[in-house]
Amino acid sequence: MNLYTFCYGLIHWLVDLVNNLWFWLGGHLPGALGGFFTWAGDLAKSDLNISFFAILLEVLIMVIIALINVLNFIWIDRKWMGRMFDFYGPYYVGYRIGGWLQNLADGIKLFVKEIIVPKKADRLGFLLGPVIFVASSVAALSTIQFSPQFGVLTSGVDTGVPAGVLIAFAFFAIAPFSILVTGWSSNNKFTLIGGLRSAAQMMSYEIPMLLVVASVFLLSGSFSFVGVVGAQHSVWFFIPLFIGFLVFLTCIVAEVEIQPFDLAEAEAELVEGWTTELPGFRFGLFMMTSYMRGYIGGALVVTLFLGGWQGPSLIPAELWFLIKAYLVFLVIEWMRWSNMRVRIDQLLNIGWKRLMPLAVINLLIAVALKTMGWF
């Protein structure tokens, strides 16, 4: 049984429960009214309807799991940062669970703040930008698969969504667009520079990243999560494609926009970058979503290079996946808190002059491995 069959069964049971009423009404009411209820019951019972709601339920489950993970991530990030910086990190709110509730407290604080739109801002862009950012990130999140059985699936067979990894990257790449829109529409010079920086950053780092992803697709011969992870059964891809692994990790850090590459929100020169004008919970959502993107990035690194959910069967596959994603996240945070910020021209130089050739070399290695017939 996988998540899809579970959700399908649950929705089916619910529909049957409610349909009792519809069909009872259809049998007892006269004429067209009774016919309407019978029609509604038939529609609700149809396979299309049930699978639609089953997939929605799956997405909901995945998002809830992701949100819990994001809360964990923020907490781990603060604690980890604290240990690196010689202090405790949050501990007061939720004293007995190591300050875990601090995130919720911060969220509530931001939630009750007033939403202010700057007078001369472009209202549509200013209000829509954050929505696009959060929505595209959640959409990318819903494509992540924890195991062949656990993820947003569309059938009872354990093959996953075809081209799932491609869809994940497609959704993942929308965010800089919304950053540009928000930055531009805020009518503030700092947010404008932040948004433009983000656009330049996206353009220069998307290409090497996708070249590396192409090499993984080449070796695995599949676009889906199950195919990519299944191909790493004998050896995880970070061993043959070590250059690609490093390039991909760097690009993910740049795409998620954290410390060495967080130029879009460089707080020293751009105040708070493109989020300068954002009020209250909109800012909170941005903060949360950037951690969510860190989580997606970690999950993608795990899927493409670290063998996904594979590991000794002592621990369930889903847990293996999460453990690896957390470890990747820790490494990213380590980089984040011990590094400084590069400058925009240096960032573009690193992207085009260093990562691009390395990604091409990595692709050639993948082609060579494939031609030799080793994969």
Footprint on this chain of another protein (rule: CB under 8 A): 81, 84-87, 189-190, 193, 197, 259-260, 262-263, 266-271, 337-346
φ/ψ region of 363 (left if φ > 0, alpha if ψ in -120 to 50, else beta) reads alpha
Quick one: angle between helices 47-84 and 123-142, nearest 10?
100
For residues 161 and 270, which CB has a smaller minimum distance to another protein in the complex?
A: 270
Q: How far is the CB of 203 from another protein (least distance, A)?
A: 15
For residues 102 and 143, which CB has a smaller minimum distance to another protein in the complex?
A: 102
Q: How far is the CB of 264 from another protein (least distance, A)?
A: 12
Q: How far is the CB of 178 from another protein (least distance, A)?
A: 21
For residues 113 and 189, which CB has a smaller minimum distance to another protein in the complex?
A: 189
DSSP summary character for residue 330:
H
Q: DSSP of 143-184, one letter per residue?
A: T--SBTTBSS-SSSSTT--TTHHHHHHHHHTTHHHHHHHHHH
How close are the terminal C-alpha atoms of the chain, in Å? Answer: 30
Q: 340 by DSSP, 3-state: which?
A: coil
Q: How far is the CB of 270 from another protein (least distance, A)?
A: 8
For residues 202 and 317, which CB has a smaller minimum distance to another protein in the complex?
A: 202
For residues 81 and 166, which CB has a smaller minimum distance to another protein in the complex?
A: 81
Quick one: angle between helices 102-111 and 280-305, nearest 10?
140
For residues 76 and 342, which CB has a smaller minimum distance to another protein in the complex?
A: 342
Q: How far is the CB of 345 from another protein (least distance, A)?
A: 6
Structure tokens at 280: 């209250």
Q: How far is the CB of 274 from another protein (least distance, A)?
A: 14
Give the position of tokens 């990190």.
89
Ordered alpha helix ranges (H), the chain: 3-28, 31-45, 47-84, 102-111, 123-142, 164-172, 175-185, 189-220, 225-230, 242-256, 280-305, 317-338, 344-349, 356-372
For residues 154 and 349, which CB has a smaller minimum distance to another protein in the complex?
A: 349
Q: Identify whether the C-beta of residue 102 lies closer than 8 Å to the C-beta of residue 268.
A: no
Q: How far is the CB of 326 from another protein (least distance, A)?
A: 22
